[in-house]
Every structure is written in structure tokens, then in C-alpha cells.
Amino acid sequence: MNATSQITGMARKTSGERTLPSLLSVTLQRGLIAGRAYLVIGIVISLILTVVLLRTAKGSVVFVGIFPLEIPLFASLGAIGGMMLFVGDRSKGVLEYLISYGVRPRSLVMNCLLATVVLSTIVMGSALLVGLVGYVATGNSISATLQDSILGYTIPMTYATSLFAATCGVIWSTLSTPRMGLNSPVGVAPLLGVAPPVLVLIVAEGVDKSAYYYVTVGAALGFLVLVAALLVASTRLMSRERYLSSM
């Protein structure tokens, strides 16, 4: 049974009362399949970076300074599957079919974003596990500075950038009208996820060390607030008709 058949069957079973968990489970599975290439690329590149940092001449110092800042770059890339699934389902009429059975459009968006969170968690978790284990195995101890960087920047920025890219892609795909010669937002979405961490890296390196954490933590929180604002705006901008297939 393919993924579309699974969704169709669940939609029929829940024609009286639609429940999000059943659709969420299928969305997560399909998100992993749709974004498996990006997921593998994100994990592999992050692990290669970890090994390279640990093998440098001043591995411990370089690792603490760079490792926490680089993970969100690759985690946002590995989380593209959720948005790819949403855009593909809209173009194929799957979202239209689900809405006709009474599934709320907001639930469809939230499923996509939750799939994005799961995918980014997989990449981030893999990188942190290998990185921290390797760091300790080379004779180093996890310092308060490293902990603060991971808790204050790596984790929130990973989710902020991944959700930012997915939210922009979802809104763009629903509000735009395809034109000859233009691709879907999926092709640009990775840039939207990579741009915030790169911007933070540039700004953080140009400020005084005393303001370093204010920049990194502030940027992570700022993008989370921006994602929340985009989601609030999307409820007003995206009517049910925006989810219909454009084919």
C-alpha cells in the first residue's frame, strides 16, 4: 500500500471525527521518505565536520568555538523533507482530498512542521552524539562554555532555522501561482534555512566577545519569534482555496 492510499484510507475512517495523530504518523513516515536524501546529506556533512574539527592542531579550542555554531546549518538542510511533502501533496491534489473529508488546513500545516522538527532533531542529535562523544574520547571535558553554546544557540537555532525554511516554503507554495520556467519553493528553501546561521556567524565574529552570546542567543530567539509571526499571518493569508491543487 503506497502513502497516498494510506492517507485515503485514514481519511475515510475518520470521516465522522478527524484525529490529528493518525495523519501525523503517516506524515512523519512520508516526510522521512520524501526527504531521505537531504537527511543523509545533512547527517554525513555534520559528522565529517565533527571529525575534521577534532583532528585539527587545536582541536578542543576550535571544536568549542565552531561546532555548536555549525550544526544548525546542516540540521536545517536535513529537515527539508517535511516541506517537500507538503508542496508535493498540494500539487498532486492530496491536500485538496483531505480537506474535502473535513481535515483542517491548519492541521496539514502543523503536520508538515512537526515532520520538520523530527527530521531536524535526527540530524542535530546525530551530530551532537558523535561530536560530544568524540570530544570526550579525545581527553577533553565538556565545559560550561560548550554547554551554554549548545543549549543557548545550537538547539534553539536548529529548530528556528528549520521551521523558518519550512514555514516560508509552505506559505510561498500556497500563495504563489506556478509559471512556466519557475521551479517550486523547495529549490530555494535550503537557502532560507542556511542563511540565518551564516548571518549569525558573520555578525558574531564582528562583535566583542562579551556580546557574543547576546548575539547568538538573541538571534535564535528572534527567528523563533519570526516563525511564530509567520504562522499567525499564514492563518489570515491562506484560505482553504489556497490548498487546492494548481494543476
Domain membership of residue 108 (yes or no) is: yes
Find the mean pLDDT for residues 17-32: 70
Domain membership of residue 6 (yes or no) is: no
Cell of 221: 530567539
pLDDT digits (tens, 9 = 90+) for 184-242: 556 666 777 777 888 877 777 677 766 777 777 888 888 888 888 887 877 666 665 56
Domain membership of residue 177 (yes or no) is: yes
Find the mean pLDDT for residues 96-100: 77
For the cut 50, the answer to whether the pLDDT of residue 19 exceeds it is no
Structural domain span for residue 99? 20-243
Give me the helices (H) in the chain, please: 3-13, 20-34, 36-54, 59-78, 81-92, 94-100, 105-137, 144-149, 155-175, 189-205, 212-237
For the cut 80, the answer to whether the pLDDT of residue 149 exceeds it is yes
When pLDDT is cut at 50, 70 and 90, the band that residue 152 belongs to is confident
Of 90, 81, 155, give the one whose Cα is nearest residue 124: 155
Domain membership of residue 1 (yes or no) is: no
When pLDDT is cut at 50, 70 and 90, the band that residue 125 belongs to is very high
Mean pLDDT score of the chain: 77
Which is higher by pLDDT, 155 or 103? 155
Q: What is the pTM of this model?
A: 0.79
Enumerate residues 6+ apart whose C-beta is below 8 A from 171. Answer: 230, 233, 234, 237, 238
When pLDDT is cut at 50, 70 and 90, the band that residue 121 belongs to is very high
When pLDDT is cut at 50, 70 and 90, the band that residue 79 belongs to is confident
Going 132 to 134 to 138 to 139, the CA torsion angle's sign is: positive
Please provide residue 177's backbone torsions phi and psi, each rounded to the nearest 5 degrees: -115, 120
Number of compact structural domains in the chain:
1
For the cut 80, the answer to whether the pLDDT of residue 56 exceeds it is no
Domain membership of residue 13 (yes or no) is: no
- What is the model's pLDDT at position 171? 80
Domain membership of residue 60 (yes or no) is: yes
Counting other chains too, the contacts that 66-69 makes at CB distance below 8 Å and 24 or more residues apart are 67/131, 67/135, 68/146, 68/149, 68/150, 68/153, 68/154, 69/149, 69/153, 69/154, 69/197, 69/200, 69/201, 69/204, 69/216
